[in-house]
Amino acid sequence: MATERYNPRDAEPRWQQKWNEAKVFETDNDDPREKYYVLEMFPYPSGRIHMGHVRNYAMGDVVARYKRARGYNVLHPMGWDAFGMPAENAAMERGVHPASWTYQNIASMKSQLKAMGLSLDWSREFATCDVAYYQHQQRLFLDFLEKGLVYRKQSKVNWDPVDNTVLANEQVIDGRGWRSGALVEQRELIQWFFKITDFSQDLLEALDTLDQWPEKVRLMQKNWIGRSEGMMLRWEIVEATAPAGETEIEVYTTRPDTLFGASFLAIAADHPLAKDAAATNPAIDAFCEECRRAGTSLAALETAEKKGIDTGIRVKHPLDPSWELPVYIANFVLMDYGTGAIFGCPSGDQRDLDFARKYGLPVVPVVMPADGDAATFSIGDVAYDGDGIMINSRFLDGKTTGEAFEIVADRLSSMTLGNAPQGERKVNFRLRDWGISRQRYWGCPIPVIHCDDCGVVPVPKKDLPVQLPEDVTFDQPGNPLDRHLTWRHVACPQCGKDARRETDTMDTFVDSSWYFTRFTAPWEDKPTDLSAANRWLPVDQYIGGIEHAILHLLYSRFFTRAMRETGHVDAKEPFKGLFTQGMVVHETYSRGSGMSREWVAPADIRIEELDGKRRAYHLSDGEEVAIGSIEKMSKSKKNVVDPDDIIASYGADTARFFVLSDSPPERDVIWSEAGVEGAHRFTQRLWRLIAEASGNLRDVLSNPAKDGDAKAISQFAHKALKAVQNDYDRLWFNKAVARIYELVNALASPLTKVAAGEGDQAYRAAVRDAAEILIQLVAPMTPHLAEECWAALGNGGLLAHTNWPVYDDTLVIENDVILPVQINGKKRAELTISRDADQNAVTEAVLALDDVMKALNGQTPKKIIVVPQRIVNIVV
RNA sequence: GCGAGCGUGGCGAAACUGGUAGACGCAAGGGACUUAAAAUCCCUCGACUUCGGUCAUACGGGUUCGAUCCCCGUCGCUCGCACCA
């Protein structure tokens, strides 16, 4: 029987339409079955999807389809992370309004995603720039404000004086604005902050409960939160050297044990005492200025030399009032960590040591390694910052660093300076509060009003939403909201006088910090429907890129806690399972070198292989092109492959199948033409085998064989089913692919026999059973092809509605096992024996094997190790 | 500098809890079918070999009856953080 080639261009839209008509993927919140929430990080609507999206969404779709077949009520929604700078840049460059640019992009990306055949519930779709979404975000903001989770404070920002805007740190390149090229200034602006630090300890501790997250991400978050245990320590200023009104300096330290090694105090250039000193001393002022400038731009590049200047201030050592130490301003002390002041212990800290050597300050070793010798231990150019035994530390000598920490902490806590304890134990975090103010148009307006009399007044909830005005211009730099003629003018909600709206909008990370919660009831007229949110959260499986390991995931964890405190959800953690997938990478091609180097797109070249050497030639002129390294797909290197082209020529199933095969999902996958063709051959092969046999299988009822020639077929299929099921449960897509290939290889000959009219009824029933298992196994990856095959076998109804098959235990367990037989750890023979044979029987049978007798050559075994159902090892 | 991870054929990779190293795919080579090509099907495919075997999982040691897997050291690559007191 001649069979037509499988034509994805015909089949894929056809099945997509059927799924659509049957609303297979629309999820009912009231469905009583066990829930499963699978989500991929929603995309920014840049205009086109790329291969990274294809891989990300293919993975999520496999999980969604698999869990659906397993009987779960699956929620698998999609939306758009739609606010942000690119829309405003488009407005500036091309005069398009950000809204129309964004919604057009959404429309085209949506049609691309639809062409992939993803099993998404599109009825829940929204974009974060929809008023219907961001009005609820404003409501959440106001609730957080009431709870004290939002506040304003002055803080330093990167200010671009040409564009009149604040720049994120990533937008500052070599001290200049990435767009304007202007030298970036540090400005103090009043900004809105979320109090994420209220949850520092909880965010840290709860990481331990996230056992379905990659260890790596948890570690990154742990380091980011940066908990340290130490103490606050107050140093009395020697009166004669004190600036007016100042009596003490407070420092934070994690090493109170090294207190006798102190030789100076150092404060940040922005420390209040530094400012006092600068006011009266031009040299100090100049030094502080220099620190500030270096801090903004090149600090990260140079491993900046430790520099400082003596303030003239002297302090008394807390444990010896007769001991006076100098106070320096130092460039390596940060104002926004701890108290902006440290005590320097040169022997125990490399920075302090470098500093001390430069300014001739004493270096007293106070800790030596446990196996050191107190008489000879000294410090050269390298500080010793490890644990050990105290020396040169009076009453601490001989104690361990841990003991010394406790003794000093206890003693200082019980001492007083003025009317407060000299020191107290203190846990400190690196994590800072989250600044959310952006001086931009295309973001969620912060719903507050500034009144000269009443101060900062929240917009009353009944007045929400605060909607972005549409009539804005982008012909001048700065925030269009600021110069809008009417929008910002508003009556104060409290006193009714003329007042001004806040013109800052929110960081777009706010938008993505709760969208997964909104998906649970996007129609609700409050931010959440509490029962729906509680039902669905946490997300069972979240899938996305590792680049969001810290910010997005940490902000979302904070947001969920804040929403919990304000009664919008009961869950504490948003994502139960997290998976970070690798990138799609591709070879690069280029010609020319240096400045005239030209990158060539994969679509414009042809590869030839001669004597094992691959060479690339340009399609247009036949000129040879150099094959470069394999890199992340990027426009600048032109090594991009457009998903649209792939779907048009091979179909969505091939693209999906390929990005899931080959590499483990957490690792990068190399996109190659040959690989895609291999995947495509597979789809054609599967179709051909099923289609050719379908005529003789249509009228047969599936039934696995328990004996006869067909038994092996049924065993193979049911074992594959068990294995692939396990692979899907663990997101081992590449292994599932390999096993599916094996199953197709094993079924090729039986299917061909059936196609030729061979095989009795029982044989055909077993083949049909195996074929159906195969189709179900590939369905999550290549759903259109699977539906087509399913229908070809004469099945009515959609495969997407069909339950996952159940493997037959008796077919999966072998009665006989093949044991490898080793002699001295090297394999010499094989033994086939009954699964439940006891040790003695195995030993006896092994020694009777020809190969074993030959290898032993008369020697008596010293020992025979039998690992049941595994292996036998004979030691001679 | 600190932290984490990785290193297996020509290539992407498998190998369960320490138990037959290289499944599966790609590339390559040979053959069948064809007037021919494509497609398809079959075979070979780590290295060396005196065809008995021997050596092979970055390198050097160790533990073990047995190590890709565990331990110690070295080298290389990737990622994250980087004055955090």
Q: Is A610 exposed, middle or buried (0-12, 13-18, 19+ CB in 10 A)?
A: exposed
Tell whether A245 and A393 lie within a shared domain: yes
Packed helices A673-697 and A783-792: angle between N→C axes, nearest 10 degrees: 20
Give, in Å, how far the C1' of B32 lies from the CA of A141.
73
Measure A722 CA to B32 C1' (Å): 37
List protein-proximal bases of chain B (any atom < 7 A from a CB). Answer: 3-5, 11-15, 19-21, 23-28, 39-42, 54, 65-67, 79-85
A333 closest-nt by C1' vs CA: B83
Token representation of residue A753: 């026999």
CATH number of the domain encompassing residue A422: 3.90.740.10
Output the DSSP codes for A648-685. HHT-HHHHHHHHHSSS-TTS-EE--HHHHHHHHHHHHH
Tell me the nt nearest to A307, Cα to C1'. B83
Q: Which residue type sits at A218? A: R
Domain holding A732: CATH number? Answer: 1.10.730.10
CA of A689 to C1' of B15 (A): 30
φ, ψ (nearest 5 deg) of residue A2: -75, 135
Q: How far is the CA of A35 from the C1' of B55 (A)?
A: 55
Nearest DNA or RNA nucleotide to A825 (CA to C1'): B66
Does the CB of A634 sit below 7 A from strand B?
no
End-of-domain residue from the set A775, A792, A811: A811
User: CB of residue A550 closer than 7 A to nucleic acid strand B?
Assistant: yes
Minimum CA–C1' distance nucleotide for A874: B65
Low-confidence ranges of chain A (pLDDT < 70): 1-3, 169-170, 173-175, 294-304, 610-613
Residue A137 CB contacts under 8 Å (≥ 6 apart), including other chains: A128, A444, A506, A510, A511, A514, A527
Residue A456 sits at φ, ψ, to 5 deg, of -85, 115
A684 sits within 7 Å of strand B by its CB: yes
CA geometry: angle A334, A341, A329, nearest 5 deg: 80
Q: Are A774 and A743 in contact (CB under 8 A)?
A: yes
The amino acid sitting at A451 is C
Question: Does the nearest atom of strand B lie within 7 Å of A736's Cβ?
Answer: no
Question: Do A302 and A275 have their domain in common?
Answer: yes
**ipTM higher than the 0.90 cut:** yes
Nucleic strand B under 7 Å from the C-beta of A661 = yes
The packing angle between helices A652-660 and A673-697, to 10°, is: 120
Asked if residue A340 is part of any domain, the answer here is yes
Contact A655, A669 (CB under 8 A): no
User: Is there contact between A280 and strand B, defined as CB under 7 Å from any strand atom?
Assistant: no
Q: A175-194 burial, b if ≥16 CB within 10 A, otherwise e?
A: bbbebbeeebeeeeeebbbb
pLDDT of res. A234: 94
Q: How many Å apart are CA A412 and CA A425, to the nearest integer?
A: 9
Distance A830 CA to B40 C1' (A): 36
Q: In the prediction, which pLDDT does A296 show?
A: 47
Same domain, A862 and A714: no
Tokens, residue A80: 């758009």
- At residue A122, φ and ψ (nearest 5 deg) are -70, -15
- For residue A322, being part of any structural domain is answered with yes
d(CA A720, CA A747): 12
Rounded to the nearest 5 percent, the helix, strand and coil shares of chain A are: 40, 25, 35
Work out whether the CA dihedral A397, A401, A407, A409 comes out positive or negative.
Answer: positive
Q: Beta-carbon neighbour count of residue A755 at 10 Å?
A: 21
Distance A302 CA to B2 C1' (A): 18
Judge whether A138 and A150 are in contact, CB under 8 Å: no
Residues 241-260 of A with CB under 7 A from strand B: 252-255
- Tell if A824 CB is < 7 Å from nucleic strand B: yes
For chain A, the distance separating the N- and C-terminal CA atoms, rounded to the nearest angstrom, is: 61
Q: Say whether both A598 and A697 belong to one domain.
A: no
**DSSP at A805:** P
Q: Is the CB of A291 under 7 A from strand B?
A: no
Gap from A825 CA to B61 C1', Å: 20
- Do A404 and A357 share a domain, yes or no? yes
Structural domain that includes position A406: 227-426
As a whole number of angstroms, the distance between CA A581 and CA A669 comes to 10
Distance, C-alpha A166 to centroid of its chain? 26
- Whether residue A805 is found in the same domain as residue A820: no
pLDDT single digits (tens) A685-729: 999 999 999 999 999 999 999 988 899 999 999 999 999 999 999
Q: How many residues does chain A have?
A: 876
* CA–CA separation, A492 and A451 (whole Å): 6
Nucleotide lying nearest to A675, CA to C1' measure = B26
Encode A593-602: b = buried (16+ Cβ within 10 Å), e = exposed. eeeeeebbbb
Query: Is A297 within 7 A of strand B by CB distance?
Result: no
Evaluate if the CB of A830 falls below 7 Å from strand B: yes
Please calculate the CA angle A771-A730-A790 and round it to the nearest 5 degrees.
20
- Is A704 a domain residue? yes
Residues A780 and A836 in one domain: no
* Sign of the alpha-carbon dihedral angle for A393, A394, A397, A403: negative
Q: Å from A453 (CA) to B68 (C1')? A: 73
Domain count for chain A: 4
Which of A396, A426, A456 lies at the terminal end of a domain, its last residue? Answer: A426
Determine if residue A635 is labeled as part of a ligand binding site. yes
Proximity of residue A234 CB to strand B below 7 A: no
C1' of B30 to CA of A610 (Å): 17
* Nearest nucleotide over every DNA/RNA strand to the A674 CA, judged by C1': B26
Helices (H), A22-76: 51-69
Distance between CA A704 and CA A719 in Å, rounded?
A: 12
Residues 6+ apart with CB under 8 A from A448: A145, A456, A457, A458, A459, A501, A502
Question: How far is C-alpha A252 from the chain's CA centre?
Answer: 33
Whether A386 and A333 share a structural domain = yes
In chain A, residues 568 through 587 whose Cβ sits under 7 angstroms from any atom of nucleic acid strand B: none
**Residue A381 DSSP SS3:** coil
| DSSP labels, A487-514 | TTEEE-TTT-SEEEE---EE-HHHHTTS
Task: Provide Rg for chain A, Cα atoms.
Answer: 35
A113 touches strand B (CB under 7 A): no
Specify the pairing of strand A669-670 against strand A584-591.
Answer: parallel
Global confidence as pTM? 0.93
Residue A451 lies in a domain: no
Same-domain check for residues A857 and A797? no
Q: Can you say how many angstroms the Cα of residue A370 is from the centroid of all Cα atoms in its chain?
A: 41
Cβ-proximal residues to A179 (8 Å cutoff; 6+ apart), any chain: A89, A160, A163, A171
Evaluate if the CB of A82 falls below 7 Å from strand B: no
Q: How far is the CA of A504 from the C1' of B15 (A)?
A: 57
Residue A748 (CA) to nucleotide B42 (C1'), in angstroms, measures 13
The nucleotide minimizing the C1' distance to residue A354's CA is B83
Distance A799 CA to B3 C1' (A): 48
Residue A830's pLDDT is 81
A103 residue type, one letter: Y
Q: Which of A104, A135, A107, A116 is nearest to A76 (CA)?
A: A116
Cα separation of A51 and A56, whole Å?
9
Supply the pLDDT for residue A302.
47
Report the CATH number at residue A821. 3.10.20.590
Report yes or no on A67 lying in a domain. no
Do A232 and A362 lie in a common domain?
A: yes
Strands A341-344 and A264-267, how do they pair? antiparallel
d(CA A506, CA A439): 9
Q: Are residues A600 and A693 in the same domain?
A: no
- Of A residues 600-619, those with CB within 7 angstroms of nucleic strand B are 609, 612
d(CA A149, CA A140) in angstroms, rounded, equals 11
Residue A611 lies in a domain: yes
Same domain, A718 and A780: yes
CA A226 to C1' B82, in angstroms, rounded, equals 13
Is the shortest CB-to-strand distance from A230 to strand B under 7 Å? Answer: yes
Please count the other Cβ atoms lying within 10 Å of the Cβ belonging to residue A21: 8
From the CA of A271, how many Å to the C1' of B84? Answer: 16
| Protein-to-nucleotide distance from the CA of A218 to the C1' of B69, whole angstroms | 25
Within chain A, what is the greatest distance between any pair of CA atoms?
Answer: 109
**A833 CB less than 7 Å from any atom of strand B:** no
Instruction: Find the helix packing angle between A761-778 and A673-697, rounded to 10°.
Output: 150
Please give the protein residue whose CA is closest to the C1' of the nucleotide B14: A735
Q: Kindly report which amino acid residue has its CA closest to the C1' atom of nucleotide B11.
A: A670
CA distances to A431, A463, A737, A765, A799 from A721, in Å: 47, 57, 12, 17, 16
Report residues 461-520 of A contacting strand B, contact meaning Cβ closer than 7 Å.
Answer: none
Using C1' positions and the CA of A673, the closest nucleotide is: B26
Q: Answer yes or no: is A405 within a domain.
A: yes
**Residue that finishes a domain, picked among A383, A403, A426:** A426
A675 in contact with nucleic chain B (CB within 7 A)? yes
In a domain, A246, yes or no: yes
Q: What is the pLDDT of residue A352?
A: 92
Protein CA A663 to sugar C1' B79 (Å): 18
Q: Nearest CA to the C1' of B81 belongs to which residue?
A: A223
pLDDT at A370: 81
